[in-house]
């Protein structure tokens, strides 16, 4: 059974179980697994990245997942209790999950566009705000997004009536399935496919010529520049295949997962779909887009470049700054393709 609201870009998918206890246990395990994935992802990121909006939002998302897990755990083990004059029962597990799912379902577009604006502002100006004010600005922006979306969810009459119309019984609990995440993933996959088609021969050539080398005490991929070529920073045609190789080299399994989800139109509850690995995937996509669109600015002195927590984009620009890397540091190995 599926319900939808005309004013909302999401739908409700009713999950049916024979026993509410089994459904609550499954929900607890899903949220617990997501939190463990959050911890693993945040722990694997590079530590030398400068702070940006996306990282602050990822931390806030991890906190919201933890808060949801705590609420579910307290209600699940207490069964029934009274707090501040309100009586909480096992049915509030479904209610809290609904509210969080609806909130998550509306976050994709705002987070994507605010991250775009953040990178644009940081890339277009040579002077940064003091770290203290920049951190406060990011914290304020993240809080404003959460409060605004939550207020909209709780205050919109159409959404409220949809929630009230679902009588939560022992056999069903509606959860939000967002369309924002689907269309945003579709947009990014299409852009990647078009970019790959535009320079697939250069991508194949680069993969065959890739070497692993040490540069500034960091192991990176090195794309040798032909001796008869002169690389320029503002050459988008030269930069695009390098960005694609670096991006797909890190996120190729995740891209395949997105393609499967899109092709089979898999409906994933919003409290699962909005996750930290997906946000870092979006973050890498945005950074690659910013580099490509502003390649003519890469030589500006004092320019603060966005640093990816997972993808090392440094190898894309080494040929632009060092003509013959072999003369400085000898490659430590060669990839045989």
Which residue segment(s) compose the domain that 158 sits in? 2-334
Averaged pLDDT in 10-residue chunks for the chain of 337 residues: 42 43 74 93 78 91 92 74 59 78 92 92 69 88 94 76 53 75 94 92 82 63 54 67 88 94 90 93 93 74 70 66 44 33
> How many domains does the structure of the chain reveal?
1
Distance (Å, whole) CA 273 – CA 101: 9
Identify the pLDDT of residue 18.
42
Burial of 295 (0-12, 13-18, 19+ CB in 10 A): buried
pLDDT digits (tens, 9 = 90+) for 220-239: 666 665 544 444 444 778 88
Identify the pLDDT of residue 165.
56
Distance (Å, whole) CA 165 – CA 159: 10
Distance (Å, whole) CA 264 – CA 31: 24
């Amino acid at each position: 059974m599926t319900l939808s609201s005309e004013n909302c870009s999401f739908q409700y998918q009713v999950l049916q179980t024979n026993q509410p206890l089994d459904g609550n246990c499954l929900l607890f395990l899903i949220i617990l697994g997501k939190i463990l994935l959050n911890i693993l992802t945040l722990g694997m990121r590079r530590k030398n990245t400068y702070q940006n909006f996306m990282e602050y939002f990822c931390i806030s998302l991890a906190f919201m997942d933890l808060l949801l897990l705590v609420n579910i755990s307290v209600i699940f083990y207490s069964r029934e209790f009274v707090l501040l004059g309100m009586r909480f029962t096992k049915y509030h597990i479904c209610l809290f999950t609904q509210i969080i799912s609806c909130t998550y379902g509306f976050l994709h577009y705002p987070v994507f566009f605010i991250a775009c604006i953040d990178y644009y502002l940081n890339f277009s100006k040579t002077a940064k705000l003091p770290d203290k004010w920049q951190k406060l600005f990011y914290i304020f922006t993240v809080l404003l997004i959460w409060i605004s979306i939550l207020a909209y969810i709780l205050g919109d009459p159409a959404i409220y009536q949809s929630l009230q119309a679902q009588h939560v019984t022992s056999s069903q609990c509606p959860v939000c399935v967002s369309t924002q995440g689907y269309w945003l993933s579709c947009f990014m996959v299409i852009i990647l496919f078009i970019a790959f088609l535009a320079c697939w021969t250069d991508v194949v050539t680069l993969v065959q010529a890739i070497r692993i080398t040490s540069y500034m005490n960091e192991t990176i991929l090195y794309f040798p520049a032909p001796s008869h070529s002169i690389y320029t920073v503002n050459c988008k045609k030269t930069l695009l295949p390098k960005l694609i190789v670096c991006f797909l080299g890190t996120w190729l399994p995740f891209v395949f997962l997105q393609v499967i989800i899109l092709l089979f139109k898999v409906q994933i509850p919003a409290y699962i779909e909005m996750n930290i690995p997906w946000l870092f995937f979006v973050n890498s996509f945005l950074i690659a887009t910013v580099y490509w669109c502003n390649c003519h600015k890469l030589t500006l002195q004092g320019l603060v470049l966005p640093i990816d927590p997972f993808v090392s984009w440094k190898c894309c620009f080494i040929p632009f700054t060092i003509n013959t890397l072999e003369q400085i540091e000898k490659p430590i190995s060669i990839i045989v393709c």
